[in-house]
Amino acid sequence: MTCSSCRLAFLATGADVGACLKPEAGFEGWGGTACPDPLLFLGILENGGPWVMLSPSVSLPARTGGALLADALLSLGAETVYCVPGESFLGFLDAAHDRAGRLRLVVCRQEGGAAYMAEAHGKLTGQPGVCFVTRGPGACNATVGVHTAFQDATPLLVLVGQVGRGMAGREAFQEVDMTALFAPLAKFTATADSAGRLPELVARAWAAATSGRPGPAVLALPEDVLTELATAQDPTPWPAARPAPSAANLEALAALLADARRPLVVVGGGTWTPEAATQVTRWAEACDLPVAAAFRRQDIVDNDSPSYVGDLGFGASPALNARVREADLIVALGARLGEVDTQGYTLLSSPHPAQTLIHAVPDPAEIGRVYIPRLGLVTAMDTLAPRLPVVDGQAWAAWRQAARADYEAALIPDPCPGAVDLGAVMATLEARLPRDAIVCNGAGNYAGWVHRFHKSHVFPSQLAPGNGSMGYGVPAAVAAKIAQPERCVVAFAGDGCFLMNGQELATAVAHGLDLLVIVINNGMYGTIRMHQEKRYPGRVIGTTLANPDFAALAQAYGARGYSVATTEAFAPALDAALAGQGPAVIDLQVDPEALSTRATLSGTRAQALALALARR
């Protein structure tokens, strides 16, 4: 819409703006005493957030769309772009050449790896990781990272080169309708129609990625838009909008807590900050509350805190699952309480759980989606954490103590078959890693040892895909070491998981990154084999792998490689890997009999055969 006085267009990002900011408009939050002409305001973020504004697009030098895009990213705080180059965005690459000292370009080996790196960057920093891929096949490869960001509430900006505007709709070379492709996976999708609008569109995408429940935003960029000359002002950065709880809701939360006898807090989701993580830990300790982590959110509460009682999800402690069922109050802070956390929606009954439920999330659409709560709070975690009311926890002190004892008992590993004892391996690793180490992993049964035996102490320090996406660990480790080079970074990958994105080891070598990859090599897709044995015992097909020599492969990339076939050989290999320079890979050769932290392959098969026999 246009102001009738100064003819400035207002483009709302979160709320419709009905008038220009003239004195008579009396707009709350604007401190000026006159119409802000000649400033162009892009709108108000949802929930009363501040404005992002553009200065006038007059008397400015013309820039190419690629230059406008690069400068917009820099203005919003982006310093790193993960990419696989494509001819569709050569205009941007040329602009990046002129900004090499300010905008770091990390060239990856496959678009899925680039998208994972940007997603991990967003998890680690709280600001959108930026990924740039080309049209068609490049965009399709990147979707896996977009889906990960969507389910994990990670701020992510994916820039996609596109066919020229004059070729759109003709099924031109590598043409894909980007809106149709990404709409189910992203919070925001758009295609730039002119170079002059690029700062606006980048600002809108950035706002979408960071506000409310964070997530991915996708902006398609026709090739000719990136070479077109235009004048436009760079966007001004602003803090993301963060909804906060009302005083009435906090009073209701305190009252429900005071009435409880077996409360359990579940932390997860996005919008956490290091400060918020510390605040929620101190609050739980002050109230003597037990806190469980949602799937792959174990770094929110210090695992050494007496309030921490373990993590939910695949491989969760049976004792913790039982406590979820027995609790009379569940306080879900950021956690969606999805299928994995609730063991297939069985720990709580849907839609009306037997437990009283307090559900606090930044997305109002999430409240009541599966479980109808007694109290729903639309709030970000970084605005809720400092406001959480302290209540006397004497009534449930014994409940919390028992839950903590269960967690500590679960840290004692079960016997592990084979020459490599993964429980002992994890103990060796824990003794050597610094408390703020960043630990990454993809998906597979091997991750059960990481989740059960590695203790997180600092937020953020756990990079793992909540959507169970294989191939995540190596690119996540690359991004972690680039974003925070002063920290120790270790990635775990199964043998199947590693070969889905292990090529990004070349990226680590190219940038001289000191990181460690531990490959859990058991010669099979372990998770699928487990389910195969449970359902069709002994009928093995499609789950066995023929692997390369991973240590030799690492050396071929220019990294250091170590082969470990016994428990005793792990410690010296680990010490050498951590002491050296550049990336290192430890090929940990594990007996396939070690199926999971609590089950063996033969035992799983025998149990399934016995059940099948009993049904006859």
Return all residues near 457 (Cβ < 8 A) that are at least 6 apart: 299, 302, 303, 304, 435, 436
Residues 268-296: tens digit of each pLDDT: 999 999 999 999 999 999 999 999 999 99
pLDDT of residue 576: 98
* Whole-number percent of the chain with pLDDT over 90: 86
pLDDT of residue 2: 33
Q: Is the model more confident about 59 or about 136? A: 136
Vertex 14 angle, CA 360 and 185, to 5° = 70
CA–CA separation, 588 vs 550, rounded Å? 9
Query: Can you give the residue ranges of every domain in the chain?
Result: 1-44, 63-230, 247-410, 422-612
CA–CA separation, 103 vs 121, rounded Å? 15
Taking residues 253-263, report their average pLDDT: 98
Residues 466-497: tens digit of each pLDDT: 999 999 999 999 999 999 999 999 999 999 99
- Matching residue, tokens 């809720």: 384
Number of helices (H), then strands (E), in the chain? 20, 22
Strands 584-589, 516-521: pairing is: parallel
pLDDT band at 170 (very low <50, low <70, confident <90, very high): confident
CA–CA separation, 514 vs 579, rounded Å? 9
E strands along 403-459, which residues? 438-441
Residues 68-110: tens digit of each pLDDT: 999 999 999 999 999 999 999 999 999 999 999 999 999 999 9
E strands along 240-363, which residues? 263-267, 291-293, 308-311, 329-333, 356-361
Name the token pair of 63: 């820039």
Q: Is the model more confident about 48 or about 368? A: 368
pLDDT band at 242 (very low <50, low <70, confident <90, very high): confident
Q: Which helix (H) or strand (E) holds 82?
A: strand 80-83
pLDDT of residue 290: 99
Q: Is the pLDDT of residue 125 over 50?
A: yes
pLDDT of residue 536: 96
Residues 403-440: tens digit of each pLDDT: 999 999 999 999 999 999 999 999 999 999 999 999 99
Name the token pair of 434: 């610094």
Name the token pair of 325: 């069922």
Residues 440-473: tens digit of each pLDDT: 999 999 999 999 999 999 999 999 999 999 999 9
Sequence-separated contacts (24+) of 402-406 with Cβ below 8 Å: 403/264, 403/290, 403/309, 403/310, 403/319, 403/320, 403/323, 404/290, 404/306, 404/307, 404/308, 404/309, 406/309, 406/310, 406/317, 406/319, 406/320, 406/323
Taking residues 309-327, report their average pLDDT: 97
Reduced to 3 states (helix: H, G, I; strand: E, B; else coil), residue 254 is helix
Backbone angles phi, psi at 228, to 5 degrees: -70, 140
pLDDT of residue 577: 98
Inter-residue contact 209 to 159 (CB < 8 Å)? no
Inter-residue contact 517 to 583 (CB < 8 Å)? yes
pLDDT band at 56 (very low <50, low <70, confident <90, very high): very low
pLDDT of residue 37: 35
pLDDT of residue 143: 97
Q: Is the model more confident about 41 or about 522? A: 522
pLDDT of residue 175: 77
The pLDDT mean for the chain works out to 91
CA–CA separation, 292 vs 302, rounded Å? 11
Cα separations in angstroms, 466 against 101, 106, 441, 519: 35, 25, 11, 20
- Matching residue, tokens 């940990």: 588
If we measure between CA atoms, which residue out of 334, 335, 323, 336 comes closest to residue 370?
336
Cα separations in angstroms, 253 against 41, 249, 273, 457: 38, 6, 22, 27
pLDDT of residue 24: 35
CA–CA separation, 253 vs 333, rounded Å? 12
CATH 3.40.50.1220 fits 247-410, yes or no: yes
Inter-residue contact 80 to 67 (CB < 8 Å)? no
pLDDT of residue 32: 36
pLDDT of residue 238: 78
Q: Is 593 exposed, middle or buried, given 0-12, 13-18 or 19+ CB atoms closer than 10 A?
A: middle
Inter-residue contact 423 to 399 (CB < 8 Å)? no
pLDDT of residue 237: 85
Count the residues in the chain.
Answer: 616
For the residues of 538-549, what is the DSSP string, one character each? T---S-B-----
Taking residues 167-180, report their average pLDDT: 82
Return all residues near 576 (Cβ < 8 A) that are at least 6 apart: 560, 562, 584
Taking residues 9-38, report their average pLDDT: 35
Strands 438-441, 462-463: pairing is: parallel
* Whole-number percent of the chain with pLDDT over 70: 90
If we measure between CA atoms, which residue out of 544, 517, 498, 282 comes closest to residue 388?
282
Taking residues 579-604, report their average pLDDT: 96
- According to CATH, what is the number of the domain 422-612? 3.40.50.970
Q: Which CATH number fits domain 63-230: 3.40.50.970, 3.40.50.1820, 3.40.50.11740, 3.40.250.10?
A: 3.40.50.970
Q: Sign of the CA dihedral 273, 278, 281, 287?
A: negative
Backbone angles phi, psi at 181, to 5 degrees: -70, -45
The domains spanning 247-410 and 422-612 adopt the same CATH topology? yes
pLDDT band at 174 (very low <50, low <70, confident <90, very high): confident
CA–CA separation, 415 vs 422, rounded Å? 9
